[in-house]
Amino acid sequence: MKSGHISKAKTIAVASLATLAAAAATGGSAAAGGGTIDAEVKAKFNSNLFRVTGHVISEGKCERQRLVKVFEKHPGKDEIVGQDVTDSGGKFSVNPGGSINGGTPHYAKAVEKELQSGKTCLKAKSDTFIPNDD
């Protein structure tokens, strides 16, 4: 091989590495369908039902069948008080089983979910709320 010339195999290898690096830099995948989808969680305490209700807001497939956990904030590790899986519209309803402390902040968290397309529904957390019996 003459000086200054790059072989065809080296050119292909460099192009492949560049594609992988670009995908990694954007948080995506080099494979078709990769990438991430953002989500938002809204939650509140419904004193009439004694339940935490809310919904996950995202693209349709990231709203459906999404595991949502409700936590009570504590110094150190927060305590899970219940969980539910969202319906087809992204709604959830958690029965805390009498473990709601009315003066303590709580929040809901949708866990990360992988779709068959290879995309990832990112985890999301609601604003904190303080349950009350009003």
Per-residue pLDDT reduced to its tens digit, 103-134: 789 999 999 999 999 999 999 999 999 887 54
What are phi and psi for residue 111, nearest 5 degrees? Answer: -80, 160
Which residues lie closer than 8 Å to 58 by C-beta, 6 or more apart?
37, 38, 39, 40, 90, 121, 124
Q: For the chain, what is the domain count? A: 2
Q: 67 versus 31: which is more confidently predicted?
A: 67
DSSP alpha helix (H) spans, 85-128: none
Same domain for 39 and 24, yes or no, is no
pLDDT for the residue numbered 33: 59
Partners of 73 in the β-ladder: none
The pLDDT value given to residue 17: 38
Domain range for residue 25? 1-30
pLDDT value of position 109: 98
The answer to the question of residue 133 being in a domain is: no
| Rounded Cα–Cα distance for residues 63 and 87 (Å) | 8
pLDDT at 99: 64
Rounded (10°) CA dihedral 122, 69, 104, 41: 40
pLDDT bin (cut points 50, 70, 90) of residue 10 is: very low
What's the pLDDT score for residue 101? 66
In a domain, 131, yes or no: no
Residues 73 and 98 reside in one and the same domain: yes
Mean pLDDT for 55-75 is 93
Give the closest residue to 38 by CA, choosing from 99, 120, 98, 134: 120
- In this prediction, residue 41 carries a pLDDT of 98
Range in 32-36, 60-64, 116-120, 130-134 the model is least confident about: 130-134
Q: Is the pTM of this model over 0.75?
A: no
Residue 53 burial by Cβ neighbours in a 10 Å radius (0-12, 13-18, 19+): middle
